[in-house]
Structure 1
Amino acid sequence: MIKRLSGFLIQWRVAVVALLAVVTVVLGYFALGLEVKTTFSDLQPANHPYVQINEKYKTTFGGANVVTLMVQVDKGDIFRRDILEIVQRITKDLQYIDAVNQFQITSLASKKIKNVQASTEGIESLPLMWPDLPSSDQEIEVLREAAISNPMVYGQYVSKDLSAALITVDFIDRLIDYDKVYPQIQEIINEVEVDGVEVKVVGQPILAGLIINYLPETLKIVGMIIGVIALLLLVTEGTLRGMLLPLLSGGVTGVWVMGVITLMGINLDPLAIVITFLIAARAVSHTIQLNSAFDDERRSGGLNSRDAARLALRKLFRPGLLGLATDAGAMLVVALTPIPLLQKASLIGAMWVGAMVIGTLVMVPVALSWVRADSEHRLVDLRVNTAVSAFLRLCTRLTTNRASASAVLIVAVVLLAVSGFFAKDITVGDANPGSPILWPDSEYNRSDASINSRFPGSDRMFVVIEGEEPDALKRPEVLDNIMQYQQYMENLEGVGGTQSLVDVIRPVNMVLHEGNPRFFKTGDNALVNGEFLFFALAGSDPGDIARFSDIKYQNGAVQLSFRDHQGDTIRTAIQASKDFAAANPVDGVEYRLAGGLIGVLAAANEVIFSGQIQSIALALLVLFFFCALAYRSSQAGLFFLPLVVLSNTVTFSFMSWQGISLNVNTLPVAALGIGLGVDYAFYITDRIRESFHKDGDVREAIAFALSTAGRAVIVTAATMIASVVLWYFFSSLRFQAEMGLLIALWMSVSAISALVVIPSMVYLLRPRFIFGAVRKGEDYSADSAGTGAAYAVQGRA
């Protein structure tokens, strides 16, 4: 079949190229409309119970797109008219931002923040600083005392040292456009900042907006990396053809996929751009292998370009297709994780790898068939080939000696065991405070640390208390249970504070008893608690109590503030909530977890944690299946597994050491690494097999494979490694830098394993699928006879 296919493609090469050109132009037109943006719903595993709770109650208790702003003074406190004016202005201006939930803007200047007072005229519940600012020093002092004496304000919206005020705002998830919200908030901040006053801001919309804001920088780095790849290919290959064909293959297949996903209405997440280099590396790798095989056939066999291209395609089609099938299968496994972002990344990756079957395995040999030997000259000759040949001769000596080959395998087993031991400690969810997407010293992470040092925390989670009937939340035993839950959770590290209906009722009871602290508690029965709530909400607008209870007092929420969203912090809080609810049941109500950003992250972490072993196991199963199918041997399926496991355990142990966690952004890279770790080995193994069945000499076969496919492995790995590490030095996004390092590490381990571990295994184990009888249909015909010996001689030369 491969023989007929190669002959057909070369015979009808003009029609093939014309067809590919038309497809590229059409899909390229649609690719121009590709949307590069972040969609928050893509991060949520839709069927997870936490996400369902968040979706059900987010409009009242607050969603995951909360933005926190802190107005901080350098000297003195915020109780000055000019500072209070800034707080008021920000609070008002936030109402006009796109997709804002106007009922979820809370600050010292909002109507929601009230103070309950008792006097001879009765009970009053009045906003602290709404609608007007205090007009005199005396009124400012009254405001200061009211804020300090109100537990819903002091430490919550005014820092305990009085140097900062907090403003929180929530957005409607289905309407929010981060590309619009971020600059609008930034404009508000720029208009109010003056000397001696800082406004710090954090939250998911701000983080997503920053990522989009860095897109021009990212595209500049992309252009720089493409330039470096082109230069390195020119240096290593020496010809324009050697430089342009790999770039053309990666570019054309990328255009096809971008056009298709645009037609499908799929957006590209900005953070996924770095992953595209991992996928594009496959096109570069396969193209270099085809280029190398083409040169080998034309030089040693004396063939013309058409025959050399046809024969190169015949010999490399199976390992190339096997490598691409493994890559695509490993990516599709990620789609089983029910998180839309991962499913989109999986689909894009699988389609791109699939496109390479045409854009690389077909287009490149067809293009090579037009190469004229008499018109092609080396443009660069830096004696790179001399150094590469010397290294490959060293690999040959190392892997064709029983003692040294055994030593190689022993080192590989030890490395596998050690890296596997440390890889088990990899963190699921964020591993460090702040955002792992940005550098620790970024303005966002410094703002996050500053806010969390003065307030309970910028990250929120709500736990719902669902009642079976109206007024369930007024019952004393329910309120006591909620209070105990709050005290229990506030003792956990990472939880900065909690708020609930209890915190609304207790101050009213104390005020009614002339400020006696003994009465800072809830009422003795539901009727009394209802009266307290009536006093607290007198003159309030509908929705002012919404973040703690619905209007029937049947379903309520405990709002928890977190100082970080590390994976361990979230898991501890979720488990503690489950343990408390199980140990302290109350008739008629049920605790339901969990909403807000922390709830959504908890859902994603749980899905990833439960599915990571399954995903890796399925990816390895895919590898086994395709290898066994391609070589018609279950032994072949098992042969390559240790290599893949080694490259993955080494990378995971590096992630654990460097504090790089496994989350929705890094998981696609980890999955694609399953296929990445074995591509090089397929080419080495197939060339060993080809040479052995011609010459019958194991040492000569290994020398032939390393001097041909091995050279292409070195060129590919060196080119991609040297280019992707540029992310680390030039990107303002820590995620891109770390993924660049991971890709470089993966390629390094994979390349070294393919050059020394695989040949050592072949030499010592003599697997039947390599050294067994030639199967019917396989063709090592006379048109290439003797090339194994010829290349073996070249490898030793």
Structure 2
Amino acid sequence: MSQIQDNQMSLIERFVFNARPLFLAIFSIMLVILCFQAVQVKPEASFTKMIPSDQEYISNFLKYRQELASLGNSIRIVVETSDENIFNADFQEALKQISDEVFFMPGVDRTGLKSIWTPNVRWAEVTEEGFIGGTVIPDDFKGTDSDLVLLKTNVLKSGQVGTLVGNNFRSALIIAPLQDINPETGEKLDYRELSTNIEQRIRSKYQTDNITIRVVGFAKIVGDLIDGAVQVGIFFLLALIITAIMLYLYCRCIKSTMLVMLTSVFAVVCQLGVLNLLGYGINPYSMLVPFLVFAIGVSHGVQIINAILHEAQKGASKFDAARLAFKGLYAAGLTALVSDAIGFTTLMVIDIEVIQELAIAASIGVAIIIVTNLILLPILMSYVGVAKSAVKHLDESDVDDVKVVKWFSKFATPKHAKVALVSALVILVVGLFYSQQMKIGDLDAGAPELRPDSRYNLDNAYLVDNYSTSTDIFVVMAETADNQCITYKTLSLIDNFQWNIRNIPGVQDVKSVVDVSKFGSFGMNEGSLKWFGLNRNQYVINSSLAKVPAGLINASCSMAPVLIYLNDHKAETLQGVVAGVKAFEQQYGDQGVKFTLAAGNAGIEAATNIVIEKSQTEMLIWVYSVVIVLCAITFRSLRTVLCIILPLILTSVLSQGLMAVLGIGVKVATLPVIALGVGIGIDYGIYIYSKVKEALARGENLYTTYTYALSQTGKAVAFTGITLAVGVATWVFSPIKFQADMGLLLTFMFIFNMLGALILIPALAWLFKVENKQKIPVKLPNEPKLKNVA
């Protein structure tokens, strides 16, 4: 079988190196075309891409999406005054202009826009003659003192204090529902453009010393994330510079350094170009993918350069050195990259479109690296070769590295292998303990994607502190037969439901059509408190609901939403509400009313958490299954597969434990990180074991075998792990918190995957007896250069 593989490799080798000019011409054409496409890639984001569209709760929400439009994707604009209250002419004029400005913004659902200046916000009161009412802002409002007194009276009568007017009367709120499609262009709503419009047409234009503008909502979060992407680009550039410096210090060859950097950047450019051709953009959650593609490219490029240096050290010409390096690493590199690509595609099992797009982007990038760093780089190196200074540096470092190699080689001996395995087992137990405490969903109030002191989170905190209605709304849909949503039986059951839910920790308040009916009965009976309740007479109920606000019942009177206002959207809060709704439905669901989950931003968050909780285990099973199968095909040994996979599993468990300790929840932003870490970590094990296999085939024992593997590829593995860790560690300073979290997790995974490959692979090889039955030597051979160890 090995002879067949050798023949196949020789054929591939001849095909690549005998057609170098042709390959270079093809690569040049690809670069021009894909560069042109790459510069056209645009940042994008979509509310619907962030939610699991096939999840049960989301399907229920989409069924009533029109009726619940104001409770879905919307922005809230708070206009705050530094004066004593909002009842002055200057503030009201500014509020009117801002309301009008928002009304004409592209993407705003104008029929659902609400502020005290919109005609759909009214006041009502009870008189001896019955109900009277009107718009909060009269048609003849001029801003006079008498008008302002009347306005204050109307606001108090409207019941909007705490909803559209701050509890301290020092701010007013504008609620603007958004459409997924911009009706002016017919294209998907551009959240970056919308966020820019808010900043330019609202905040910059109307914010003064006396007026402060605050904005919250999904669209503003995305806008801030995209704005933060500019700084992320700076971190990417910083990572490139750090990598280039460390790569030069490693190989001491400016030509090799430049070519590894260029081919890796070439891979990123090609990836972006292909994404644009396929109609994809870059969203805030896939901004890390270009760096990961670059990191994987550097990882494999370093292995190629390392192999070329060793061949040059033996006296090979630049052509032969590149050809032999290609021949020696092609199988291992291809296995590693195919494992990466297919492993990333396993993210497609997660029913959240933004993660699926991330999987596609990462897989495309890795597929391109097969071409750029496994084929193009050796071809280019066959022309330019490595500098003599690089070979001289390798000669000197071989001697200097003997102690380091000798230290790591000890883990191939029984004594040190036992220490490594016991230590790993202890660490695994600790990791498993803490990983059980890992939480699903957001663990912080506001927008956890941003820093706690970010402008958005400060704006959100102001709104929560000064308004009675939270920005976190969980909606349960009370479904009935047609024309049965306001019968006494239905309303009574909804009232009972509200009382139960109101007593769940984390719930601020609960509202529904029941409250409207109670207030109507109260009003029709001269404001007597004894009438503030549900009336058994259906005609009285009908009268009390003569003017139901839009959105509290649907047109066929078969659904009445129950609005649950929450303190926050933390995972525990959402789980408590879901459990409470299910418990009530199980007890009372056979009485003609079905309490269906869920809508509102908190309801959608709960659905997303459920999908993530289900998918995280499924995703890990898939990614490890793919890696195991490909390693088994390559090495044809179960023991070898275990030696490569077990260190990765240890790192995955420790990463989950680290997330629990640091308070990082598993959510859309962090779920892919562990799979991406596994994809990159597998490269280390495959490259090391390919050299172990090579030495074992020559009849060497485990100790000498592992010493040879370290001398050939171990230093490159260590360099790659440290360099990539340093590069992503800069993300910790990102203004985008979830990217800082990703940087921290990836740094941890790069380091521990590298250490796991260098320490645990030989220890596991000893445990599983992956060696020849020769006596293990206790000393390194006397040769000063490790290249002669084998």
TM-score norm. by structure 2 comes to: 0.92
Contact 2:267 2:293 (8 Å CA) reproduced:
no
Partner residue in 2 for 1:339: 352
Matching residue's letter, 2:536: D
Tell me which of 300, 304, 308 is aligned to 2:321.
308
Contact 1:467 1:473 (8 Å CA) reproduced:
yes
Tell me which of 374, 378, 385 is aligned to 1:361.
374
Aligned residue runs from structure 1 range 202-221, under 5 A: 202-221=216-235
Partner residue in 2 for 1:782: none
Contact 2:399 2:784 (8 Å CA) reproduced:
no
Partner residue in 1 for 2:633: 629
Cα distance per residue 1:497-555 (max 9 Å; x no partner): 23221232222221222211221223323322221222x36xxxxxxx32211234332
Matching residue's letter, 2:445: P
Q: Does 2:237 align with 1:223?
A: yes
CA offset at residue 717 of structure 1?
A: 1.6
Percent of paired sites with the same residue: 24
Partner residue in 2 for 1:780: none
Cα distance per residue 1:208-231 (max 9 Å; x no partner): 111222233222322222122212
Cα distance per residue 1:107-129 (max 9 Å; x no partner): 23332332222334442132222
Matching residue's letter, 2:302: I
CA offset at residue 386 of structure 1?
A: 7.6
Contact 2:87 2:148 (8 Å CA) reproduced:
yes
Tell me which of 612, 615, 620 is aligned to 2:619.
615
CA offset at residue 378 of structure 1?
A: 4.8
CA offset at residue 146 of structure 1?
A: 4.8
Q: Does 2:304 align with 1:296?
A: no
Matching residue's letter, 2:361: I
Q: Does 2:765 align with 1:762?
A: yes
List alignment gaps of at least 5 residues for structure 1.
538-544, 774-787
Matching residue's letter, 2:675: A
Distance between the aligned counterparts of 2:270 and 2:400, measured in 1? 34
Partner residue in 1 for 2:186: none
Partner residue in 2 for 1:655: 659
Partner residue in 1 for 2:334: 321
CA offset at residue 416 of structure 1?
A: 1.2
Tell me which of 25, 46, 59 is aligned to 2:53.
46
Distance between the aligned counterparts of 1:791 and 1:33, measured in 2? 54
Distance between the aligned counterparts of 1:328 and 1:465, measured in 2? 45
Partner residue in 1 for 2:726: 722
Q: In structure 2, do the counterparts of structure 1 residues 380 and 736 end up closer, same or farther at CA, with 3 Å as the change threshold?
A: farther
Distance between the aligned counterparts of 1:226 and 1:131, measured in 2? 62
Distance between the aligned counterparts of 2:355 and 2:396, measured in 1? 40
Task: Compute the RMSD of aligned alpha carbons.
Answer: 2.7
Cα distance per residue 1:265-313 (max 9 Å; x no partner): 112213312232223211111110111111112212x222222222212
CA offset at residue 148 of structure 1?
A: 4.0
Distance between the aligned counterparts of 2:555 and 2:644, measured in 1? 62
Secondary structure of the corresponding residue to residue 429 of structure 1: coil
Partner residue in 2 for 1:93: 101
CA offset at residue 196 of structure 1?
A: 3.9
Tell me which of 371, 393, 404 is aligned to 2:384.
371
Q: In structure 2, do the counterparts of structure 1 residues 284 and 598 end up closer, same or farther at CA, with 3 Å as the change threshold?
A: same
Q: Does 2:71 align with 1:67?
A: no
Matching residue's letter, 2:195: Y
Contact 1:463 1:559 (8 Å CA) reproduced:
yes
Secondary structure of the corresponding residue to residue 691 of structure 1: helix
Tell me which of 422, 427, 441 is aligned to 1:410.
422
Contact 2:522 2:531 (8 Å CA) reproduced:
yes
Distance between the aligned counterparts of 1:621 and 1:277, measured in 2? 25
Secondary structure of the corresponding residue to residue 182 of structure 1: helix
Secondary structure of the corresponding residue to residue 366 of structure 1: helix
Partner residue in 1 for 2:675: 671
Contact 1:522 1:529 (8 Å CA) reproduced:
yes
Partner residue in 2 for 1:189: 203
Moved more, 141-150 or 363-372: 141-150
Partner residue in 2 for 1:781: none
Partner residue in 2 for 1:255: 269
Distance between the aligned counterparts of 2:444 and 2:482, measured in 1? 42
The aligned length equals 769
Q: In structure 2, do the counterparts of structure 1 residues 198 and 368 end up closer, same or farther at CA, with 3 Å as the change threshold?
A: same
Tell me which of 83, 107, 126 is aligned to 2:115.
107
Partner residue in 1 for 2:443: 431
Distance between the aligned counterparts of 1:528 and 1:277, measured in 2? 65
CA offset at residue 387 of structure 1?
A: 10
Contact 1:110 1:130 (8 Å CA) reproduced:
no
Partner residue in 1 for 2:778: none
Distance between the aligned counterparts of 1:571 and 1:59, measured in 2? 26
Secondary structure of the corresponding residue to residue 189 of structure 1: helix
Secondary structure of the corresponding residue to residue 708 of structure 1: helix
Q: In structure 2, do the counterparts of structure 1 residues 325 and 372 end up closer, same or farther at CA, with 3 Å as the change threshold?
A: closer
Secondary structure of the corresponding residue to residue 271 of structure 1: coil
Q: Does 2:576 align with 1:572?
A: yes
Partner residue in 2 for 1:18: 25
CA offset at residue 466 of structure 1?
A: 2.1
CA offset at residue 692 of structure 1?
A: 3.0
Q: Does 2:281 align with 1:267?
A: yes
Aligned residue runs from structure 1 range 458-469, under 5 A: 458-469=471-482
Distance between the aligned counterparts of 1:790 and 1:353, measured in 2? 39
Secondary structure of the corresponding residue to residue 67 of structure 1: strand
TM-score norm. by structure 1 comes to: 0.91
Q: In structure 2, do the counterparts of structure 1 residues 342 and 380 end up closer, same or farther at CA, with 3 Å as the change threshold?
A: farther
Distance between the aligned counterparts of 2:170 and 2:232, measured in 1? 37
Moved more, 460-469 or 119-128: 119-128
CA offset at residue 435 of structure 1?
A: 1.3
Partner residue in 2 for 1:164: 171
Contact 1:324 1:353 (8 Å CA) reproduced:
yes
Contact 2:524 2:544 (8 Å CA) reproduced:
no
CA offset at residue 415 of structure 1?
A: 0.8
